[in-house]
Amino acid sequence: MTKLKKHSIILCLSSLLSIPSIGHSREWSDTEVVLGSMATSLYLADWATTRDMTKRYDEGFHEKGLFPKMLFGSQPTTKQIDGYFIVAIPTVLFAADRLPQHRKLILTAAIVTEAIVVRSNRKLGLNFEF
């Protein structure tokens, strides 16, 4: 793993750990913490399978996700995917933190969406590759 990749992963994980403590309007319940952890885990699984995809374009794989495809086209680089997830994961957690009345909805929507994406990626044959 290159130094940049290691730093990107460390930055992302440290951001995730700090989000719930940044000036929120109310504490996270145990259920919300579990939902946040589940959402984060699924985002990381999506990230890993998407990284695998970036190494296998010659096998016919291409990006299908709405936002990454709009931003980077159908064949984003690994660096672009890393940047996307480094921003996306903390953004969802930050939104959940800042909108406590909608926290469970935001996190549940992320879980459902990411579970579908990860299942689809795995069915296509993409692996968990960092």
Torsion 79-85-88-91 (CA) sign = negative
Give the start-to-end residue ranges of the domains of the chain: 3-15+30-123
Torsion 15-68-24-108 (CA) sign = negative
pLDDT tens, residue by residue, 55-75: 999 999 999 989 899 999 999
Whether the CB-CB separation of 48 and 123 falls below 8 Å is answered with no
pLDDT score recorded for residue 3? 54
pLDDT tens, residue by residue, 31-62: 999 999 999 999 999 999 999 999 999 999 99
pLDDT tens, residue by residue, 1-15: 555 555 555 555 555
pTM of the model: 0.81
